[in-house]
């Protein structure tokens, strides 16, 4: 879909660039496929703020998405494409031959009236789903499971995809856009194609209020705080902290690795590429 710009009738509209969603369905979602969504406001079960930049945001209804695609060999037609406030990708409402409705993540080039199907061996076209062992090497896929029957976890955001680059000893080798290559059991499901709404990365929200609608609060610098609130706080006049960058709890933010070793690390063949520049 194309990007939409606005006349500068206000400072917030002068820089505003959003995705034109004129082709999407404008009504409400299917009620049976929705549920309520509660917000934490960045607070834990004790009521204390643990995520400083989370709070507010517009009220949302959660759409129940079928990430598993285990209704095999049952063709479904695409009823409509919809906006989902809970994710950057668009979603598609599909109707199976037995009249059951479901939401799936919409891939690129999927249109109303198209037919999609999940199965052990189906056609290689956007929206169809099958196990990785049946997908030809070189195919672009999304909504990839990491464990069989767990549901898709990889490549679900707008414009994202992974590529099947090999197969060996019961595992499929997948290359992500970061450059990382990892192995995934070949019994896991994946959907053909790249995720819809690739122009999401080119949006410019234009004003701070738009971030607040999404539940994002301002980020306050530690040097602007008092000593009681942050190790960088305090000092006469404007100071730059006087120490190496740390978190509000005194842990170093540059240098030490924070990621714990995962059991799935053994499945990573090549680490993601180092950032250039």
- Is the CB of residue 238 less than 8 Å from the CB of residue 82? no
CATH code of the domain in which 115 resides: 2.40.50.140
Instruction: Report the predicted TM-score, pTM, of the whole model to 2 decimal places.
Output: 0.90
Query: Which of these, 212, 215, 222, lies nearest to 252 by C-alpha position?
Result: 222
Asked if 19 contacts 200 with a C-beta cutoff of 8 angstroms, the reply is yes
> Are 69 and 155 contained in the same domain?
yes
Residue 142 within a domain: no
**8 A C-beta contact, residue 91 and residue 104:** yes
Beta bridge partners of 222: none
Other C-beta atoms lying within 10 Å of the C-beta of residue 194: 21
What is the pairing mode between strands 129-131 and 115-116?
Answer: unpaired
Q: Are 187 and 70 in contact (CB under 8 A)?
A: no
Residue 240 Ramachandran class (φ > 0 left, ψ -120 to 50 alpha, else beta): alpha
**Whether residue 236 sits in one domain with residue 124:** no
| Domain coverage including residue 123 | 3-135+150-161+195-201
At 138 the pLDDT is: 96
CATH number, position 266: 4.10.950.10
Asked whether residue 131 falls in the same domain as residue 18, the answer is yes
Residue 104 and residue 27 in one domain: yes
Q: Which residues of the chain have pLDDT under 70?
A: 274-277
* pLDDT at residue 262, as a whole number: 87
Quick one: pLDDT at residue 275?
A: 54
pLDDT digits (tens, 9 = 90+) for 103-119: 999 999 999 999 999 99
Phi and psi at residue 137, to the nearest 5°: -65, 135
Residue 159 three-state SS: coil
- Burial class of 100 by CB neighbour count within 10 A (0 to 12, 13 to 18, 19+): exposed
Residue 215 in any domain: the answer is no
Q: Is 115 exposed, middle or buried (0-12, 13-18, 19+ CB in 10 A)?
A: middle
Q: Which element (helix H / strand E) includes 208?
A: helix 208-213
Note whether 157 and 240 are same-domain residues.
no
What's residue 257's pLDDT? 86
Phi-psi domain of 128 (left: phi exceeds 0; alpha: psi -120 through 50; beta: other): beta
Q: Count of residues for the chain?
A: 277
Three-state DSSP class for residue 271? coil
Is there a domain that residue 184 lies in?
Answer: no
Same domain as 131, residue 10: yes
> Which pLDDT tens digit goes with each residue over 38-78?
999 999 999 999 999 999 999 999 999 999 999 999 999 99
């Amino acid at each position: 879909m194309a990007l939409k710009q606005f006349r500068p009738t206000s400072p917030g509209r002068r820089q505003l660039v959003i995705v034109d969603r004129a082709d999407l369905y404008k009504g409400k979602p299917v009620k049976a496929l929705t549920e309520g969504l509660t917000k934490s406001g960045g607070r834990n079960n004790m009521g204390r703020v643990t995520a400083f930049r989370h709070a507010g945001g517009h009220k949302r209804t959660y759409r129940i998405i079928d990430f598993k695609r285990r209704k095999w060999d049952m063709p479904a037609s695409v009823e409509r494409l919809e906006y989902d406030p809970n994710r950057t990708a668009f979603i598609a409402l599909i109707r199976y031959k037995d009249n059951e409705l479901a939401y799936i993540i919409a891939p690129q080039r999927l249109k109303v009236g198209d037919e999609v199907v999940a199965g052990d061996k189906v056609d290689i076209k956007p929206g169809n789903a099958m196990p990785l062992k049946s997908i030809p090497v070189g195919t672009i896929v999304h909504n990839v499971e990491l464990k069989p029957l767990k549901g898709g976890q990889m490549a679900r955001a707008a414009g994202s995809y992974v590529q099947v680059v090999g197969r060996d000893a019961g595992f499929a080798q997948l290359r992500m856009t970061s450059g990382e290559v990892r192995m995934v059991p070949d019994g896991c499901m994946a959907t053909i194609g790249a995720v819809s709404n690739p122009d999401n990365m080119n949006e410019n929200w234009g004003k701070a209020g738009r971030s607040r609608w999404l539940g994002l609060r301002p980020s306050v610098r530690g040097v602007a705080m008092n000593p009681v609130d942050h190790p960088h706080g305090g000092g006469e006049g404007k100071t730059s902290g006087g120490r190496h960058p740390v978190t509000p709890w005194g842990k170093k933010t540059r240098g030490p690795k924070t990621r714990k070793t995962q059991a799935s690390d053994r499945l990573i063949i090549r680490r993601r590429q180092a950032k250039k520049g």
